[in-house]
Amino acid sequence: VFNFSPGPATLPEPVLRQAADEMLDWHGTGMSVMEMSHRGKEFISIHAEAEALLRELLDIPPGYKVLFMQGGAIGENAIVPLNLVGATGKADYVVTGDWSKKSAKEAATYGKVNIAATGEAGKFTAIPKQSDWKLDPGAAYVHICSNETIGGVQYHWTPDTGKVPLVADMSSDILSRPIDVSKYGLIYGGAQKNMGPSGVTVVIVRDDLLGHALPVCPSAFNYKLQAENDSMYNTPPTYAIYILGLVCKYVKERGGMAAMAEHNVAKAKVLYDFLDSSSYFRNSVAKEDRSLMNVPFHLKDPSKDETFLQGAQARGMIQLKGHRSVGGMRASIYNAMPIEGVQALVHFMKEFEKEHG
Ligand code: PLP
């Protein structure tokens, strides 16, 4: 089966096989990872290896903490302002789709939010150019979403926010391509697209941003407290961290970020090339902002949506229904989707167009 789910997404099969092999007895300890104390030497080694691999893959410079937290990316919509907005009381948000809109809305509970730019007038089909952003030099940070999972727009450039720290929700594209971490103050993402199972949220935060938490910030969500306790101020999501470590090991063995980017560009090209040549299917996103991870598309005749989904399912291609706010279809093609999956989808789309176009 080719699973085009936007998340939780498919994990690499060798990772799942290794996890299955180690399920009842991890490395001769007689324990499942789920049964280990998070303070025991076995889990501490699993945690340390996962962090080291993530640091290596993303080339995270010294001066940044890596935190494994709970609460997901929606939790981070509150946790980020709770920790950072206190520096000046205000923050800039660039709204490029449903997810960054949600982030901005949540942040307004904790500080003054300035919408520096929004793509809403264009139905979120393009990322506003930075020359049109109205940034506030007094903002505590500028928040972006690097890949809008629902609308299918992705930054293929890194904004320059000067001295104001750049904060990015990278839930749906982290670990899919190289990034220059030094250009960000903070990066966060739920694991469940490219990094592992749901339940663990990765936060990469520059040291100087720690220590500004608002007094109302819950201690479990205080970055400084978590950093001082190696993400173990509360019980961390141990099993999810273990799988994240296995995924990182797998990605490293496959060539790391450069190889992932090459694989993802090649896959997306197959689908976008077809969409651009088709008179029956279309993608509405500006070419330079198209996502390599989530490809929304519409049929010329929406009354055939259900027929399309059923035909795809019968051929082993599942979870292609678009998000309700966009409609149509969406193919999510994260790291674990092989190019054969995208080729099979395009093959079916061609057949469908011939029959119904
Ligand atoms: N941000 C982005 C870009 C997402 O794609 C998602 C989920 O799909 C979220 C935030 C919300 O993540 P969670 O459900 O882990 O809170």
Same domain for 265 and 240 = no
Q: Exactly one of 99, 173, 267, 321 is catalytic; name it.
A: 99
What's the 190 CA to ligand 1 centre distance in angstroms? 6
Q: What is the DSSP string of 61-86?
A: PTTEEEEEESSHHHHHHHHHHHHHGG
Report the atom number in ligand 1 closest to the C-alpha of 71: 16
Residue that is last in its domain, among 253, 278, 313: 253
Output the CA 72–ligand 1 centroid distance in Å: 7
Structure tokens at 17: 């096989």
CA–CA separation, 135 vs 153, rounded Å?
21
**Is residue 299 located within the same domain as residue 330?**
yes
Percent of the chain with pLDDT over 90: 99
Residue 348 sits in a domain whose CATH number is 3.90.1150.10
Contact yes or no for 173/144 (Cβ under 8 A):
no
pLDDT given for residue 87 in this prediction: 94
175-193 as b/e: b if 16+ CB within 10 A = bbbebebeebbbbbbbbbb
Residue span of the structural domain in which 282 resides = 255-356
Using one digit for the tens of pLDDT, what is the confidence trace for 240-275? 999 999 999 999 999 999 999 999 999 999 999 999
Query: CA-to-CA distance for 298 and 296, rounded, in angstroms?
Result: 7
Q: What is the pLDDT of residue 140?
A: 98
Looking at residue 78, what is its pLDDT? 98
Binding-site positions for L-glutamate read 39
**Are 197 and 277 in the same domain?**
no
Average predicted confidence (pLDDT) for the chain:
97
- Look up 169 and say whether it is catalytic: yes
Q: Is residue 145 part of a domain?
A: yes
Q: ipTM of this predicted complex?
A: 0.99
Q: Are residues 171 and 314 in the same domain?
A: no
Same domain, 147 and 76: yes
Question: For residues 196 and 246, what is the distance between their CA atoms, to the nearest angstrom?
Answer: 8
Q: Are residues 321 and 203 in the same domain?
A: no
Q: Per-residue pLDDT averaged across 279-284, rounded?
A: 97
What amino acid is encoded at 260 in this protein? Answer: M
6 found inside a domain: no
pLDDT of 25: 98
- Give how far Cα 4 sits from Cα of 7, 67, 246, 309, 316, Å: 9, 29, 22, 12, 10
Please compute the mean of the pLDDT values over residues 143-156 and round it to a whole number. Answer: 98
Query: Residue 346: CB partners within 8 Å, gap ≥ 6?
Result: 270, 271, 274
Token pair recorded at residue 253: 């063995």
Q: What is the C-alpha separation between 46 and 211, in angstroms, rounded?
A: 28
Average pLDDT estimate for 214-229: 98
41 carries an active-site annotation: no
Q: Looking at the structure, tell me whether residues 288 and 244 fall in a common domain.
A: no
Going by their DSSP bridges, the two strands 294-299 and 329-332 should be labelled as antiparallel
Q: Is 4 among the domain residues? A: no
pLDDT digits (tens, 9 = 90+) for 151-204: 999 999 999 999 999 999 999 999 999 999 999 999 999 999 999 999 999 999
Look at residue 206 and tell me if it is in a domain: yes
Q: How far is the CA of 171 from the centre of ligand 1 (A)?
A: 6
96 lies in a domain? yes
**Phi, psi at 207, each rounded to 5°:** -55, -40
In the chain, the percentage of residues whose pLDDT exceeds 70 is 100
Contact partners, residue 33, CB within 8 Å, separation at least 6: 22, 26, 43, 46, 238, 239, 242
Is residue 3 assigned to a domain?
no
Q: For residue 162, what pLDDT is reported?
A: 96
Cα(318) to ligand 1 centroid in Å equals 20
Whether residue 292 sits in one domain with residue 143: no
**Mind listing the pLDDT tens digit for each residue in 111-143?**
999 999 999 999 999 999 999 999 999 999 999
Q: For residue range 45-69, what is the model confidence (pLDDT) as tens digits?
A: 999 999 999 999 999 999 999 999 9
d(CA 299, CA 278): 10
Final residue of a domain: which of 253, 284, 315?
A: 253
Same domain assignment for residues 49 and 107:
yes
DSSP letters for 217-260: S-GGG-HHHHHHTTT-SS---HHHHHHHHHHHHHHHHTTHHHHH
Assess whether 69 and 217 both reside in one domain: yes
Give residue 323's pLDDT. 96
Question: What's the domain count of the chain?
Answer: 2
Same domain membership, residue 277 and residue 168:
no
CATH code of the domain covering residue 31: 3.40.640.10
Query: Which residue among 65, 101, 169, 224 is the active-site one?
Result: 169
Distance from C-alpha of 275 to C-alpha of 284, rounded to nearest angstrom: 10
How far, in Å, are 125, 326, 338, 342, 348 from residue 2 at the CA level?
Answer: 27, 22, 9, 9, 13
Residues with CB under 6 A from ligand 1: 7, 72-74, 99, 145, 149, 169, 171-172, 190
What is the pLDDT at residue 326? 92
pLDDT in the model for residue 95: 98
**Using CA atoms, how far apart are residues 329 and 353, in angstroms rounded to an integer?**
15
Closest residue by CA, ligand 1 atom 15: 72
Residue where a domain stops, chosen among 203, 229, 253: 253
pLDDT at 282: 97
Question: What is the bridge-based pairing of β-strands 142-145 and 147-148?
Answer: unpaired
Q: Does residue 233 sit in the same domain as residue 259? A: no
